[in-house]
Amino acid sequence: MNAPTEAQTLDMLQTAPAGAAALSRPTPGAPMWLLAELTYRCPLHCVFCSNPTDYAAHSAELSTEDWLRVFREARAMGAVQLGLSGGEPLLRDDLELLVAEARKLGFYINLITSGIGLTEKRAASLKEAGLDHIQLSFQDSTKELNDFLSSTRTFDHKNKVAAIIKAQGYPMVLNCVMHRYNLPHVGRIIEMAERMGAEFLELANTQYYGWAWHNRAALMPSHAELIAAEEVVDSHRARLAGRMKILWVSPDYYDAKVKPCMAGWGAVFMVIAPDGVALPCHSARMLPGFDFPKVTEHSIASIWRDSDAFNRYRGTGWMSETCLSCDEHPKDFGGCRCQAFLVTGSAEATDPVCPKSPDRHRIDAAITAADQAAGLSTPQPLRFVPGAAQGGGMLFRTDANSRALVAPDSGEVEFAAPEGAG
């Protein structure tokens, strides 16, 4: 799954309840942005996938009726944007029906897809059902790297899908997750988007959650690689002004400012996982000590307003003294709880990317390691290896790897070498 785009999150930021974090436990507004992760199934195996690494332990999926009830309840509470994501949402046979019903309810509907499974016929049916927007992901501008990073032969098909989307008259919105391997190609990625007639290109630098957390050492760019890529983006942005909007989402680790994650915990955003677990953000499932409520057992209203899970980090009552005494907390809400947990072991900690965080040294150490690795590695050329060959390196998002991460004795974790040897 690709997370909702930065633009979408920024949209929500502009509509977030003003000063919400200034109250120790504010009354929540509406869950304006509903992300429906329809399935964790996906034909691709991206090394940076933001799905939970234990997704294979959660294979149950809500029925069509359950999803429609979720949509109705969320809409009644004021939800306006509906993201349909996964895994690969096109794997759901009821996608057209879900879109049609969501449209009748008045949602603005965005399909977030790898494109695999989008035929001309299906694109037309989705258009007829009322789908507003499709976000198509690419892994790179080259077939070799695109196919390597997803461990599938999908580049050519994605190109066809881009043409199908364009032919249906959708705005062309491309997304590419950036990291050490494809940052040197950023100019070519922009030119590819230009050839496809994209109106919008999101270059989302990898944030380190989910599978990307496991692959952090392999994916993290050096400072110099990042700056060089940003300069290329700036030059293309000036050249394409008025024709294509390019959004460069910088990686949290390298940012001087802490991001207001999800516009605040439980402020505007609600994710429903494929099995009906409701989450304040798409990564929260891995946080320990939570009993995340299920939509099959509770109404959306009670989950949003009353559940411990959605209330735990609302307001300021949970904040460390570092954040409480800082003028920034009404704007950045203390940053990301998932990042805090992964890096420090405590979800209550100040976001470790913050320069004021007592754990900032952990981020600096990762950056130093990436800077040192940049001089050593020769990651090109990469090529597709059927079945993700052994050899040490990156951990692909596969069912077998997911099961092995949950129960390390249950099977072997598969690795693929960055060199693609096999």
Q: Does 315 sit near ligand SF4 (CB under 6 A)?
A: no
Residues of span 330-349 touching ligand SF4 by CB under 6 A = 332, 334-335
Nearer to ligand SF4, 46 or 244 (CB): 46
Q: Does 274 sit near ligand SF4 (CB under 6 A)?
A: no
Q: Does 88 sit near ligand SF4 (CB under 6 A)?
A: yes
User: Which residue, among 247, 144, 149, 153, has the nearest Cα to 193 in the 3D structure?
Assistant: 247
Nearer to ligand SF4, 86 or 379 (CB): 86
Report the distance separating Cα 151 and Cα 416, nearest Å. 9
Q: Does 356 sit near ligand SF4 (CB under 6 A)?
A: yes
Taking CB under 6 A as the criterion, the residue among 45, 259, 282, 312 binding ligand SF4 is 45
Least distance between ligand SF4 and beta carbon 258 (Å): 4
Report the distance separating Cα 64 and Cα 80, nearest Å. 20
Q: Does 49 sit near ligand SF4 (CB under 6 A)?
A: yes
Check residue 263 and give left, alpha or beta (phi > 0: left; psi -120 to 50: alpha): left
Which residues, 6 or more positions from 177, have their beta carbon under 8 angstroms from its beta carbon? 2, 46, 48, 137, 139, 204, 205, 206
Q: Are 249 and 204 in contact (CB under 8 A)?
A: yes
Taking CB under 6 A as the criterion, the residue among 3, 36, 44, 370 binding ligand SF4 is 44
> For residue 277, what is the DSSP state?
B
Q: Does 282 sit near ligand SF4 (CB under 6 A)?
A: no
Nearer to ligand SF4, 207 or 307 (CB): 207
Which residues, 6 or more positions from 125, have their beta carbon under 8 angstroms from its beta carbon? 96
Q: H-helix or E-strand containing 14?
A: helix 6-15
Q: Please count the helices (runs of H) and the strands (runs of E) in the chain.
A: 17, 11
Please give the distance of CA 236 from its chain centroid, rounded to a whole number. 25
Taking CB under 6 A as the criterion, the residue among 125, 159, 299, 322 binding ligand SF4 is 322
Least distance between ligand SF4 and beta carbon 133 (Å): 17
Stretches 81-89, 273-281, 282-290, 373-381: which one binds ligand SF4 (CB under 6 A)? 81-89
Q: 315 phi and psi, to 5 degrees?
A: 70, -150
Report the distance separating Cα 139 and Cα 162, nearest Å. 14
Q: Does 37 sit near ligand SF4 (CB under 6 A)?
A: no
Least distance between ligand SF4 and beta carbon 301 (Å): 29
Q: Which residues of 166-188 are buried (b: 16+ CB within 10 A; e: fewer)?
A: eebebebbbbbbbbbbbbebbee
Binding-residue total with ligand SF4 (CB under 6 A): 27
Antiparallel, parallel or unpaired: β 200-205 and 245-249: parallel
Report the distance separating Cα 299 and Cα 293, nearest Å. 9
SS3 138: strand
Stretches 68-76, 80-88, 215-223, 242-250: which one binds ligand SF4 (CB under 6 A)? 80-88
Taking CB under 6 A as the criterion, the residue among 12, 161, 204, 354 binding ligand SF4 is 354
Nearer to ligand SF4, 358 or 408 (CB): 358
The contact pattern for ligand SF4, residues 223-262, with x = CB under 6 A and - = no contact, is -----------------------------------x----
Q: H-helix or E-strand containing 270?
A: strand 269-272
Stretches 13-21, 42-50, 178-186, 219-227: which one binds ligand SF4 (CB under 6 A)? 42-50
Residues of span 142-201 touching ligand SF4 by CB under 6 A = 150
Q: Does 42 sit near ligand SF4 (CB under 6 A)?
A: yes
Residues of span 89-128 touching ligand SF4 by CB under 6 A = 114
Q: Does 32 sit near ligand SF4 (CB under 6 A)?
A: no
Two tokens, residue 100: 């049609």
Least distance between ligand SF4 and beta carbon 266 (Å): 17
Q: Which residues bind ligand SF4 (CB under 6 A)?
A: 1-2, 42, 44-46, 49, 51, 86-88, 114, 150, 258, 322-323, 326, 328-329, 332, 334-335, 350-351, 354, 356, 397
